Structure 1
Amino acid sequence: MPDSFYDEMYDSKGDPRAHYQSFSRWLANTPPELLAQRRREADLLFHRAGITFTLYGDDLGTERLIPFDIIPRSIPRSEWKIIESGCIQRVQALNMFLTDLYHDQRIIKAGIIPPEQILANEGYQMAMQDLDLHRNIYAHIAGVDLVRDGDGTYYVLEDNLRTPSGVSYMLEDRKMMMRLFPELFASQRIAPIDHYPSMLLSTLKNSSPVDDPHVVVLTPGHFNSAYFEHAFLAREMGVELVEGADLFVRDDKVYMRTTAGPKQVDVIYRRLDDAFMDPLAFNPQSMLGIPGLVSAYRSGNVSLANALGTGVADDKSVYPYVPDMIRFYLSEEPILANVPTWQCRKPADLSHVLANLPELVVKETQGSGGYGMLVGPAASKAEIEDFRARLIANPAAYIAQPTLSLSTCPTFVEQGIAPRHIDLRPFVMSGRETRLVPGGLTRVALREGSLVVNSSQGGGTKDTWVVEE
C-alpha cells in the first residue's frame, strides 16, 4: 500500500496550506463540544430532510443517511481553473466521440479504437445509429471522477455519462455548512454553487429545438437508490417528477397525463437506464419505461438527457482511449491525465495483472458503485484467488489500475479528527456551451485506510469549496 499521501489541508511541514489558513484558525478557536453539537444538528437536519440513499441487499434495511463531514474540502481558485478546463475538454471530446460513433465512425476507421471495443459493447445502441441530435450533444450532464496522487497531481479515475448522481448531496452539503457555520462564509470568498438547478434547467431546455420546451424528470420510482435526488432536482428546477406510467406516446409524440388532459413533453431528464426506457425497443419486461418512446425520439419529437447509447463512452474498457479522443477530435493534449490502465482483454496486459494482483485495483468494465472490484492491497488471499479465477474465465470484462495513494483530508471520525481518503466529482453540463459550477461532490472513505469512497461502501461526503487565494 502506498505510504505517501497528499494532505489537502496541511503541507509536508504540518502547516496549513494558504487556502486553508482561515479555516484552520477557526477550527483551532472553536471548542470541541460546539463542533460535536453542530455535527449532531447536521445529522438531525439531514434525517428530517430525508437526505438518504438506498442500499440494496442489506439485512438492516435499505434506507441510509449519507454521512456528512463538517470539515470541508478546499480548492484554491488557481487549481480549480485547471480542473475546470480539463473537465470541459474531456466532456467535449466524449460528445464528439459519440457523435462520430453513431455516424461516420472516423475514429474506428483511423485505427485508434478497435471496432470490437465499441460495436460489441453492451452500451452501444443500434437505435442511435444515424440519428441526428440537437447540437450533437449526447451527454448533457456528466460527472468526471477525479483523484489526487501522492505528488498532488489530479487524475481522471472514470467518466459518468449515463445517469450521473450525487449533485443533490453537493448542494445540500453547502446549505448545511452555510446554516451551521455562517461565520466561515463571511471570513473568506467561497465560490457559490446554488445556481446549479437554474443552469441544469437551462441545459435541459437547450437540448431541444423547441422554444420554451416542457421539461420533466423521469424516475424509476421511490425504491431507486437516488430517488431523493430525482425529487430534489425536479423541485429545485420547478418541473414535474414523473414515472413511466405518467407518460404515453401518441402519433410519435410524448404526452404527460394531467388532470387537465394530455400535455406534450419536449425534454425528458431521465434517471433510468437504457434497457428500461422503452419495452418495445429494449427490455420487453420493463414496467418503468414508456412504450413507443424510441420511435418518438427518432422522429425528433422529444429530447432525452442524457441520450440513449451514451454508456458506450463511459465503459471502463473505453476509458483508456479518452486521451486519444482528445487528440483526435480537438487536436489538443489532455489537460487531465488518465490513471494508467491495463485492459485484461489484451493477453500481455492480462499476464501482468495476474502476476501482480495483490498490488492492483481490478474493476468490472460495466461496474459501478464500488461493487465488483478488487482492491489488491486490502484483499485477503481467498479474495485475490477468487478474482484470479474470474479474470481467467472472462478477461474482457475487467480492467486493472495501480493502487493510487489517494489524497487525504482531515475528517471527523469516532477517534477525533483524522485523515481519510477522498475523491472529487465535478458535474459538467453541455448545452449552448460546456460549463460547470465551481465545486463538486467530494466523497470520503470513512473507514481507516479504505480507498473506496462510494456511499454504498460506507463512504460519506464533504462540502467542496473553491476559494480565492
Structure 2
Amino acid sequence: MKSIWENYKTDSAYDELMCSEFQPRQISYRLCQYLNSLNTSDIDKRKMAAELAILEMGISFTVYSDEGNIDRAWPFDIIPRIISSTEWRMIEKGLKQRLTALNCFIADVYDEQAFIKAGKMPAEIINSSKNFRKECIGMKPRHNVWANICGTDLVRDKDGVMYVLEDNLRVPSGVSYMLENRVITKRVFPELLQNIDILPIDDYPSRLQDMLASLAPGHISKPQIVVLTPGIYNSAYFEHAYLAQQMGAQLVEGGDLVVDDDDCVYMRTIEGLEKVDVIYRRIDDDFLDPEVFRKDSALGVPGLMRAWKAGNVSLANAPGAGVADDKVVYAYVPEMIRYYLNEEPILPNVQTYLCDNPEHLEYVLKHLPELVVKPANESGGYGMLVGPHATNKEIAEFREIIQKNPRNYIAQPTLAISTAPTLCKGKLEPRHIDLRPFILQGENTFVTAGGLTRVALKKGSLVVNSSQGGGSKDTWIIDMEHN
C-alpha cells in the first residue's frame, strides 16, 4: 500500500506537523500515524464526505468579480493543524496583553492623546488616518473597551517563533468557519477525535453573547442583542446569519432599525417597535449612519451615532476602533504595551518599515524585490506586493505608487511562513498557513482555543485569503499530558 506521506518533502520553512521528511513532531505523532494507516481510497472518501458536509450545511463565501458576486463552497482541507497547549497558553496570554494595550491606545486617541504627547508616535499618523473618526472624540464605551472582537493574524517563521502579522479591529470575520471546520472534522475523522484530547471551541457563541450582554447600557438582565448585516450580498453574510442563529439574536439590516426622537434604537417587528440595547455591527464605519458618515449609505441606520453617543445603545465594535487597525499603527503596538501596561510584549511584531519615514523609504525602494509591501488600510490580501513573486514591471509600478503616497504603505521582510501537510490531488504537499485566533473583550477577556488556520492552496503562494484562492483547516490545541 502506498503511503500518503510518500514523496512529502519539507522545505526551508518550519513544518507544523513534520520536523523532517517522514519524521512527525511529537505533538502530531498520533495524527500522522493514523493518516499513514489510511489508503488513497480512504482519504478520497473522507475528502468527499467533507465536501458533501459543506454543501449540506450551506457553508459558503462570496467572491466579488467583474462578472458579479459569486457564492462559492468553503474550501476546506481535511488535514488539521496542531499546536501544543503549552505553547498556546503563552500565545493566549500574549493576545490578551495585545488587545488590552490596543484598547488603551484607542481610548487615549479619542481622549488626551497622552501616547502621542509623550513622543511615542507622530501625531500625523493619527491625523492622516482614514479610520480616525473625530465624531468619536470624548466618547467612553462600556468598560472603556472600543474593540470588543479582534481577529489577530499570526504566522510562524522558519525560526519556529510565532509573530503577529496584523490586528483586525474593525469587523473581523472568519470565526464561523473556525467553528464549522470542527463540525466537519468530527464527521470526517470521528474515531480520531474520540482518541485525542482536543480543546473545545464550541463555546464561542455563548462567550460572544455574554460579552455583548456585558456592554448593555444600564443594568439590563436580558438585553436585546441584534447582529447588523449589510445583507445577503456581503462576502461574510453566511457568518452574520450563523452567529445570530447560534446566539439566538435577531439578524437585522439597516432598514429593520429606526432611531426615535428619544435617541433610542428600535427594531421593527410584526408586533410593533422593540427597543434594541446592543448591536453587533458587521458594517464598516463609513456606512453605519448616513447622518454622520456617508450620506448615500443605504446600509446603515440614520441617527445611530446619536443613540450611541447618548448612551442608549452599545455598538460592538465601537465606531472609530479602526484607527488601531492601520498597518502603520501596528508598528507601534510593542511600544503601546510598554507604555500603557508597563510590560514587555509577549508576542513579537514582524520587523516593519514605515514608508513615510525617509530612511525606511530609501531602504524599501532599494529592496522591493525582497519585501512584502502592504497598504495601510486594505484587507483581504488586496493591493499588496510580494516582492520575490513579482515581475519587474509590477515592482516598477509599485515603486511609483509608494512614492506618490508613502504614508499609505508599510514593508516587511518576506517570511518563510510555516507549512502544513495539505491534501493536493490525492497526496500530501506542504502549503503555507497562518492562524487567526479571535479575542473577545468586554467586562472580561476571552481567547478562542486556536483559531482559523488559513492555507494558501496554490503551491508556493504566501497569500492565504479565501478571496485570493486560499482555504482553511481545523486547528487542534492538544494537551500532551493527556494524549
What TM bracket, shorter-length normalisation?
Answer: over 0.9
Residue number in structure 1 paired with 2:254: 244
- Tell me, what secondary structure is at the counterpart of 1:95? helix
Amino acid at match of 2:293: F
- Deviation string for 1:7-55 (max 9, x for gaps)? 1001136411111111111101112211111111211221232211111
Deviation at 1:414, TM superposition (A): 1.9
Report matched runs for 1:406-417 at 5 Å: 406-414=417-425, 416-417=427-428
Shift of 1:82: 1.1
CA distance in structure 1 between the aligned counterparts of 2:208 and 2:39, rounded to whole angstroms: 39
**Cα deviation code 1:417-450 (max 9, x no counterpart):** 1000000000000022111121100000000000
Equivalent residue for 2:440, pick from 423, 429, 433: 429
C-alpha distance 58-173 of structure 1, shift in aligned 2 (>3 A): farther
The alpha-carbon deviation at position 415 of structure 1 amounts to 5.7
Partners of 1:376 and 1:38 in 2: how far apart?
38
**Structure 1 position 386, deviation (Å):** 1.0
Contact 2:40 2:426 in 1 (8 A): no
Cα contact 1:22–1:187 (8 A) shared by 2? no
Moved more, 64-73 or 240-249: 64-73
Per the TM alignment, residue 120 of structure 1 is displaced from its structure 2 partner at its CA by 2.2
- Indicate conservation of the 8 Å contact 2:225/2:279, yes or no: yes
Q: Which amino acid aligns with 1:50?
A: G
User: Are 1:286 and 2:294 counterparts?
Assistant: no
SS in 1 for 2:167: strand
Within-5 A mapping of 1:192-207:
192-207=200-215
Residues in 1 aligned to 2:160 and 2:202: alpha-carbon distance in whole angstroms: 28
The runs of 5 or more residues in structure 1 that have no matched partner are: none
Distance in 2 between the 1:289 and 1:216 partners?
Answer: 14
How far residue 395 of structure 1 moved from its aligned partner, in angstroms, is 1.2
- Is 1:89 equivalent to 2:103 in the alignment? no
1:390 is the counterpart of 2:401: yes
Q: Where does residue 219 of structure 1 map in the other structure?
A: 229
Q: Which amino acid aligns with 1:168?
A: S
Residue 77 of structure 1: which of 60, 85, 91 is its match?
85
Contact 1:217 1:239 in 2 (8 A): yes
The one-letter code of the counterpart of 2:235 is S
Task: Supply the distance in 1 between the matched residues of 2:403 and 2:463 (Cα, whole angstroms).
Answer: 25
Is the partner of 1:72 in helix, strand or coil?
A: strand
Q: How many residues align?
A: 468
Q: Which amino acid aligns with 1:323?
A: P
Distance 1:80 1:50 in 2: 31
Mean CA deviation greater in 146-155 or 177-186: 177-186
Instruction: Supply the AA of the counterpart residue of 2:243.
Output: L
Amino acid in structure 1 at the alignment position of 2:49: E
Cα distance in 1 for residues equivalent to 2:145 and 2:407: 29
CA distance in 2, matches of 1:14, 1:322: 40
SS in 2 for 1:207: coil
1:67 aligns with 2:75: yes
Are residues 1:365 and 2:376 paired? yes
- In 1, the alpha carbon distance for the partners of 2:382 and 2:69 equals 18
Distance in 2, matches of 1:149 and 1:38, equals 31
The 5 A counterparts of 1:123-202 are 123-202=131-210
Contact 2:217 2:312 in 1 (8 A): no
Alignment counterpart, residue 411 of structure 2, candidates 400, 418, 436: 400
Deviations 1:224-248 (A, max 9, x none): 0000000000000001000000000
Query: Measured at CA, do residues 461 and 13 of structure 1 come closer, stay the same or move farther in structure 2, by a change above 3 Å?
Result: closer
Match of 2:3 in 1: none
CA RMSD of aligned residues (A): 1.2
Q: Deviations over 1:439-464 (max 9, x none)?
A: 10000000000000000110000000
Q: Secondary structure at the match of 1:262?
A: strand
Cα distance between partner residues in 2 of 1:63 and 1:39: 21
Q: Secondary structure at the match of 2:226?
A: strand
> Given residue 236 of structure 1, which amino acid in structure 2 is its aligned partner?
Q
Q: CA deviation at 1:213?
A: 1.2
Residue deviations 1:313-357, cap 9 Å, x none? 010010000000000000000000000000001111111111001
1:144 & 1:437 partners in 2: Cα distance?
Answer: 11
Select the residue among 51, 54, 59 that pairs with 2:62: 54
CA–CA separation in structure 2 for the residues paired with 1:403 and 1:273: 30
Spell out structure 1 runs of 4+ moving beyond 6 A: none
Give a deviation string over 1:377-422, Cα, whole Å, max 9, x none.
Answer: 0011111111111011111111100000000000001261100000
Aligned to 2:243: 233
- 1:359 and 1:194 map into 2 onto residues whose CA distance is 41
- Where 2:78 maps in the other structure, the secondary structure is strand
Does the Cα contact within 8 Å between 2:175 and 2:451 map onto a contact in 1? yes
Q: How does 1:251-400 map to 2 (within 5 A)?
A: 251-400=262-411
Q: Which moved more, 1:376-385 or 1:430-439?
A: 430-439
Query: Could you tell me the TM-score, scaled by structure 1's length?
Result: 0.98
Residue of structure 1 in register with 2:29 after alignment: 21
Letter in 2 for 1:186: Q
